[in-house]
Structure 1
């Protein structure tokens, strides 16, 4: 990558064309289709298997999209999640189910949008509320005494969500023509296709765009003429594929090395990775520790009554949707922006988690869970918006993949810590502390992207 000419000028030209095209019908349709990928994630509660699949998925789709393109990755992720979700419902034993659920996570790991994460959870939460109270064993049933005909609720849930996800994939694939990312095409030197994509999107939005192939080619010509003594690699699809495979050589990984090419960029990326990792551990650690916490402190939150449990779960998820909406508003405010929204929402979440340890009643538990979920989803909204904006477009798939993978890797430790820690208070304190530190680090990020084009 070092010998390639600097594509910043071509990226700037494409950014200008995209700004002129605006947020039109194509972008809104793509926005909705992206959200379909969040729906399968909540349909399985085999935490460790799912998170392991998410780790692999986040790593593979982030790095793999550099090789196979954004379009193919976008379409494959949902198909994989739906097929293995349906298969998991028919699993004959727990081990098989866990393996299949991990593949659901592998597919889901390639999706990002946070507002659709909240909406995507409402549907499976509603389905779970409908099936599980009516087709589950009583909470008083001894472990091992519950037979399959009495637990069909989980099977019905997974069949329903797997089938529904498959329908969403069909809509994503057959009803909407997704164009390849223009910036991905720039990285391969496919300038004609860049302009064709921009023309098609502009036409779909009933607008025009000014960029021509000659303008992109002229940037390359000008750079070559001013760097005539340097050996420049060819810029075409074949060369791009070779570069993608070359990154796996011992001295390779150019996309990763490019993310650390300047001190400011490296500093920002390290902070982003730390923030993603801390959140990745704090969030599941808190949720996995709640059963032990309630058992020790007596605030059982209706978990003896399955119907009330899933009713409360549905209420909490509604609060998460409100959080993403408020987060979407806050990140656009001039004096708060992305960094402020991310940092302050993390700190407020930490405060409520520390305060949560005083909860002793069902009503208080539900209230604190609603508020902390609300602030957490403000955080997710800012995090998912900020991260891709500060990673250079030519390496965005790699950068977001690293962040997401590190998030999931840290999350793998959460079920283990929650299970074997001595006191039920400790995981909550750890989660709150991690959120607080992540909030401080967020305020130290070097870039504010509000009102600016992404890198």
Structure 2
């Protein structure tokens, strides 16, 4: 009779020693083989994956989808918050930027996002996923509330950076915990998480329209703090709302990632987590401690090892042997470099527009007259709502004959064209129409890009290249406000720069060597 250990041994063999499984429900999807980590760890990781697959997608995963979705929500909500308050930072006796230094707020935000991505990524591998999973929302909520009470521009910049640290850690931690707690055959649900991202844009703009438009100075030249409470009320509300999300997440029975305990050599705790998930889902636990012990007897024991294999594995991604896998063939090398560069171009283009969209809407009114504060934030809400169908359209386009590459290239090119076209608008309504198209097309290209990237990366380099692409996106976003600082914001220069970069990215996609439509990702 074949034991679990016998079945697992076949799936963790080196690629040349086994036939790759093609069944989508198979759990032979791990990033590492025996060349990257020791066999006991790989075998036990496979054992856990198979157990979670057998337990299925149930009540626990549904609840986790909701509370983890709060992270996606915040990832979009607070960068939008920053962009929405920028036009209101004009108080004579309060928060106002030095001449030409308004983009410092966006720069502080992007530094915070990058820091949060790095800090919480490492922290989740040192203390586990569960604690950072709770902390990110708490950090964001506390400093968002404090930001609303900022006495001056410098203080606001600091607090924006601090709450952005929490925001930057959201996706890193939440995605890890979610993916490590769901069956392999349900990993596609990760793409559905983008619905939270789109919802954040609508809710954030709706709140800003109600508060900022009602409690702000109509004049940008003669504005005092007592007449300009709207942006402060807005930050209090968003911080308080995030704190409520934190309480909901805290009340949910979030379990630690079983694979984290496994990497620490704590088999009993890993088993306890699987048992809890099975209990919540109303299913029997398909594994027992004897299964772990059988693997120990066959390969050796990793229990009691004080080294965190998860941390080692993350750092090992950047060792020369693993980096060489990125360049194992000319075709793969071209693909990896192009995808990273495309993420970088999007990373600098999108924040450049998103951060200053309210400014453009307000200053490009009829005959270049400023439109009212209320109409500015109403327009921002309309733009956010128009972006929601983008995710649905993206899902339809990628299955057409154009495939992923065609949908991605077309959406990037159209985004650039729309930005250039927006410079020809002479009325507030025409600017609104152009920006609605921008919102729609940019949501399509983000949806396709998030799906295409992991699909064209084989399992051994997926985390490495995806991580490098995400880091390039964050790093380049830092340069967006710097460019805007030296650009003339009374002209359309930032729009032309961003539009040109989107067009360049669209052209690059044409040269992507892989088209994954209709093919199974390894």
Q: Under a length normalisation based on structure 2, what TM-score does the superposition of the two structures give?
A: 0.71
CA distance 1:94–1:380, shift in 2 (3 Å): same
More off after superposition, 76-85 vs 122-131 = 122-131
Residues 315-336 of structure 1, C-alpha deviations (whole Å, 9 max, x = no match): 11112222234335556x4867
Q: CA deviation at 1:409?
A: 1.9
* 1:27 is the counterpart of 2:27: no
Partner of 1:131: 211
- The one of the two structures with greater contact order (alpha-carbon pairs below 8 A, sep at least 6) is 1
* 1:146 is the counterpart of 2:233: no
* In 2, Cα distance between equivalents of 1:186 and 1:394: 20
Q: CA deviation at 1:95?
A: 1.0
Partner of 1:83: 142
- The runs of 5 or more residues in structure 2 that have no matched partner are 1-31, 84-104, 172-192
Residues 136-183 of structure 1, C-alpha deviations (whole Å, 9 max, x = no match): 1113x41xx321111110111111111111111011012x11122234
SS of corresponding position for 2:308: helix
Q: CA deviation at 1:200?
A: 2.6
For the 8 Å contact 1:58–1:106, the answer to whether it is kept is: yes
For the 8 Å contact 1:62–1:401, the answer to whether it is kept is: no
Within the candidate set 255, 269, 286, 1:193 is matched to 269
* In 1, Cα distance between equivalents of 2:216 and 2:463: 42
Q: CA deviation at 1:124?
A: 2.2
* In 2, Cα distance between equivalents of 1:270 and 1:375: 24
Residues 362-401 of structure 1, C-alpha deviations (whole Å, 9 max, x = no match): 2222122112211211222334445567778899887665
* In 1, Cα distance between equivalents of 2:283 and 2:56: 9
Give the superposed CA RMSD: 3.8
For the 8 Å contact 1:63–1:398, the answer to whether it is kept is: no
Partner of 2:253: 177
* 1:256 is the counterpart of 2:318: yes
Partner of 1:117: 197
* In 2, Cα distance between equivalents of 1:312 and 1:285: 19
* 1:310 is the counterpart of 2:377: yes
How many equivalent pairs are there?
A: 435
* In 2, Cα distance between equivalents of 1:337 and 1:11: 34
Q: Under a length normalisation based on structure 1, what TM-score does the superposition of the two structures give?
A: 0.80
- The runs of 5 or more residues in structure 1 that have no matched partner are 225-232
Within the candidate set 141, 152, 161, 2:238 is matched to 161
SS of corresponding position for 1:238: coil
* In 2, Cα distance between equivalents of 1:289 and 1:347: 21
CA distance 1:68–1:326, shift in 2 (3 Å): farther
Alignment of 1:186-265 (within 5 A): 186-208=262-284, 210-215=286-291, 218=294, 222=298, 234=302, 238-240=306-308, 244=311, 253-257=315-319, 260-263=323-326
* In 2, Cα distance between equivalents of 1:125 and 1:305: 16
Q: CA deviation at 1:308?
A: 0.6
CA distance 1:118–1:161, shift in 2 (3 Å): same
Alignment of 1:280-359 (within 5 A): 280-288=347-355, 303-328=370-395, 333=399, 341-359=407-425
* In 1, Cα distance between equivalents of 2:130 and 2:459: 15
More off after superposition, 126-135 vs 361-370 = 361-370
More off after superposition, 185-194 vs 308-317 = 185-194
Q: CA deviation at 1:195?
A: 3.6
For the 8 Å contact 1:10–1:186, the answer to whether it is kept is: yes
CA distance 1:348–1:259, shift in 2 (3 Å): farther
SS of corresponding position for 1:179: coil
Residues 219-278 of structure 1, C-alpha deviations (whole Å, 9 max, x = no match): 565556xxxxxxxx956562117x83x79xxxx942333752513688465444323221
* In 2, Cα distance between equivalents of 1:451 and 1:22: 25
CA distance 1:440–1:48, shift in 2 (3 Å): same
SS of corresponding position for 1:44: helix
Q: CA deviation at 1:281?
A: 0.2
* In 1, Cα distance between equivalents of 2:121 and 2:456: 16
Partner of 1:229: none
CA distance 1:87–1:359, shift in 2 (3 Å): same
Alignment of 1:407-446 (within 5 A): 407-421=473-487, 424-442=491-509, 444=512
For the 8 Å contact 2:394–2:407, the answer to whether it is kept is: yes
Partner of 2:90: none
* In 2, Cα distance between equivalents of 1:367 and 1:259: 47
Partner of 1:36: 70
CA distance 1:294–1:150, shift in 2 (3 Å): closer
For the 8 Å contact 2:362–2:371, the answer to whether it is kept is: no
